[in-house]
Amino acid sequence: MPIKLICLDADDTLWHNMRHFNATEEALYSLIAPFADRHVTREVLDACEARNLKLYGYGAKGFTLSMIETAVELVGDPLPQGVIAGILEAGRQLLAHPVELFDGIAETLEVLSTRGRLLLVTKGDLLHQEAKLAASGLGDMFSGIEIVSDKTAGLFADLFRREGVLPHEAVMAGDSLRSDIHPALEAGAWAAYVPQPGAWSHEVAAVPEQHPRFTQLVRLGDLPNWLDGLD
């Protein structure tokens, strides 16, 4: 059963991402500490992010807006100038952080390219994702780049049709059960879950352990061997 199309997530699959969001969140906790306890800030921020996803989408810019909204709710309006300036600076640092590839990623992509066409399927802010991909130096290794607002079974089905493959000829690999694994399985593809520490709570979902087209890997570098087993 040869795989023809290998879809890969970007953030926290090819390069570090959540560590930078977590550092930005810590900056917010420090700024709000005189006005609210950490756990209260966390709860309000979670609620703001969930509420704003449909408006702002995924990414650093939407996260920064949610942090400002959290501060308004907890501190009151008008916000002290130092709080606003601190949040904006934290957001700028989040947008400008260097791209840090996971160990062996370039070599892994070289090997995977001998198993099938590589397609990057990532969600988030278009400008930021394009900038991170350019900084990564990995862009030329992919036959196509898809930067989307969200990942759904319908989106994957459309991708497979456009790429000219049947669902069972495609695999999706990524760190998010909610966004990478479940939609790909629902669309009829194979799925490889590569978990990373510090995952965003919004991306948490049940592990489909008994699913015949699912596997969980320790690192992306294990994907070629798993694909060889499918053949």
Quote the pLDDT of residue 231: 61
Distance CA(18)–CA(218), nearest Å, equals: 18
49 lies in the same domain as 28: yes
Could you tell me if 105 and 143 lie in one domain?
yes
In the listed set 96, 128, 157, which residue is the last one of a domain according to the structure? Answer: 96
Are 5 and 187 within 8 A, CB to CB?
Answer: no
Residue 202 confidence (pLDDT): 73
Q: Provide the pLDDT for residue 78.
A: 83
Do 113 and 219 lie in a common domain? yes
Instruction: Give percent helix, percent strand, percent coil of the chain, each to the nearest 5.
Output: 55, 15, 30
pLDDT at 63: 95
For residue 99, the model assigns a pLDDT of 95
**What integer pLDDT is reported at residue 65 of this predicted model?**
96
Q: Say how far apart CA 3 and CA 112 lie, in whole Å.
A: 11
pTM: 0.91
Considering the domain architecture, whether residues 11 and 53 belong to the same structural domain is answered as: no
Residues 168 and 210 in one domain: yes
Instruction: Please check whether residues 153 and 83 belong to one and the same domain.
Output: no
Kindly state whether residues 88 and 135 are assigned to the same domain.
no
- Total domain count for the chain? 2
CATH number at residue 57: 1.10.150.240
Angle of helix 105-112 relative to helix 223-230, nearest 10 degrees?
A: 20
121 and 221 assigned to the same domain: yes
Q: Which domain holds residue 106?
A: 5-15+100-230
Identify whether residues 58 and 26 lie together within a single domain: yes
Kindly state whether residues 106 and 76 are assigned to the same domain: no
Q: Which residues of the chain have pLDDT under 70?
A: 1, 199, 231
Q: Clarify whether residues 160 and 62 are in a common domain.
A: no
